[in-house]
Structure 1
Amino acid sequence: MSWDQNELTSGPLPLWWQIADRLRKAIEAGDFKPGEALPSESRLNEVFGVSRTTARAALDRLEQEGLIVRRSGKGSLVLAPQVEQPLTRLSGFAEDMRQRGLTASYRTLTAGFERASAEAAEALGIAPETDAFRIYRLLIADGRPMAACLSWIPAQRLGNRTPTTGELDSGSLYAWLETHCGARIVAGSEMIEAAIADPAVADVLDIPAGSATLVARRRGVDGSGEPVEYAVVRFRADRYRFRVDLVRE
């Protein structure tokens, strides 16, 4: 059924809810693709004979659900489906995307030895102001920016081998560390918080400055509990979300 077929029904379900449900199902069916605009408030008023307030409430609901974004002069634009990451599973970006049917790729922005930040030094258990290998990469899913990742790796973990830009652009950092350094990340801890994208981060992620992001600070360790990597990953909140399964005892 097309979104604009059949009249709305009177009953317990509010009119705005029915309109939102029609549009939601149309998005799920692919009638409106990412980047396309939904019908305007005035078009919804015309089709369903509702007030502007009702039409706005329906679109507001879809925006709250992360299905659309409202842009001045452009209307209500459909967003690409969000990628969902369970909080109980540790995986690299490539593996995470592959499990969701998406193609992961990377673009290395900077890579080299630098003095570790105080935050990174503490997480890695190295002395303050010690050099560590710093990697700043753009993480991409199906050709679109997903996150900006800043990784720190202790120098002793690398030995005489450092990843080239070509290697970082072509594959998983976790896989490279395991293959070339014998360092396999098997566990870790992660802290997640919300943050506003500053102009530099916004430019990398191709979002407006001031947009919401999810920041994950992750410490990865090997089988003996020794730190292998400390990463700060800034995800686009319109493309990524975390999930945690809860059990009441």
Structure 2
Amino acid sequence: MWSQIAERLRQAIDEGAFKPGEALPGETELNRRFGVSRTTSRAALDFLEAEGLISRKSGRGSIVIEPRIERPLNRLSSFSEDMAVRGLKPSYRTRSLKLTLASEFVATELKIANNSPVLEIDRILLADESPMATSLTYLAPVAFERSGLPTVEVLDSSSLYGWLKESAGVALTGGQERTEGAIADVTTARSLGLKQPAAVLVCHRTSWNSARQPVEYVVLHYRADRYSFQVGLARS
């Protein structure tokens, strides 16, 4: 019975009957409406919380939270493409843009000599004006030697991958990515509008062009309460 109640509530959330920030009926109301025990109604709400659909807090009840963005791990896509698919408006806030010298680790990822010039871009990625992730990007010289550097205004108004393709003539065709869980530090939590302690998903990605020449190395910190990652599996 609890699963039927949970499904009814999930459907109501999907249809917009309960919007993010609004409270679902409490256990007492669910007991009366469905003629079940408190244990059953609590199990239904526990399930929705485990699914990431609601947040249960003492004194506030069961609050509908913003839906998670499901991102496939087998496809290289830009943040703006991910948001557009879900009907969300992407925007960007560039915190810094500078030429710097590649550290040994960044140089290894980009397969360039240590202390080669790289373009460092620090941005906050937003969807419908809500912070979703931070990104610290390093671009290899091939990305800006001929086209010059983008401006902060350009980066705040468009996709970085779009700029690479249209202005630099560099199309990213593939990459390698590693994702791990972590607790956000003070700066990251503040940037993402999170209260500490807060979980984040840390993504390390190296992307290359059609010649498999590395162009981008980026570290992204995604809000764990707004993102989930999917990958297809096959049994050999």
Give the TM-score normalised by structure 2: 0.89
Q: Confirm or deny that 1:236 pairs with 2:223.
A: yes
Q: Which moved more, 1:30-39 or 1:239-248?
A: 239-248
After superposition, the C-alpha distances for 1:149-181 in whole angstroms (9 at most, x for unaligned) are 111112353126111111001101111112222
Are residues 119 and 60 of structure 1, via their aligned partners in 2, closer, same or farther at CA, if it must alter by over 3 Å? farther
After superposition, the C-alpha distances for 1:23-78 in whole angstroms (9 at most, x for unaligned) are 11111121100111222334334444544443332211101111112234433221
SS in 2 for 1:109: strand
Q: Confirm or deny that 1:163 pairs with 2:150.
A: yes
Residues of 2 paired with 1:31 and 1:201: CA distance? Answer: 33
Q: Confirm or deny that 1:225 pairs with 2:212.
A: yes
Q: Could you tell me which residue of structure 2 aligns to residue 76 of structure 1?
A: 62
Q: Could you tell me which residue of structure 2 aligns to residue 199 of structure 1?
A: 186
Residues of 1 paired with 2:205 and 2:60: CA distance? Answer: 37
Q: Could you tell me which residue of structure 1 aligns to residue 94 of structure 2?
A: 108
Q: How does 1:79-94 map to 2 (within 5 A)?
A: 79-94=65-80
Q: How far 1:202 moved relative to its partner?
A: 1.3
Match of 1:64 among 50, 71, 77: 50
Q: Confirm or deny that 1:43 pairs with 2:36.
A: no
Q: Confirm or deny that 1:184 pairs with 2:171.
A: yes
Residues of 2 paired with 1:118 and 1:60: CA distance? Answer: 47
Q: What is the CA RMSD across the aligned residues, in angstroms?
A: 2.1
Q: Could you tell me which residue of structure 2 aligns to residue 23 of structure 1?
A: 9
Q: Could you tell me which residue of structure 1 aligns to residue 199 of structure 2?
A: 212
Q: Where does the alignment leave 5 or more consecutive residues of structure 2 unmatched?
A: none
Identity score, percent = 49
Are residues 177 and 140 of structure 1, via their aligned partners in 2, closer, same or farther at CA, if it must alter by over 3 Å? same
Are residues 47 and 216 of structure 1, via their aligned partners in 2, closer, same or farther at CA, if it must alter by over 3 Å? same
Q: Where does the alignment leave 5 or more consecutive residues of structure 1 unmatched?
A: 1-14
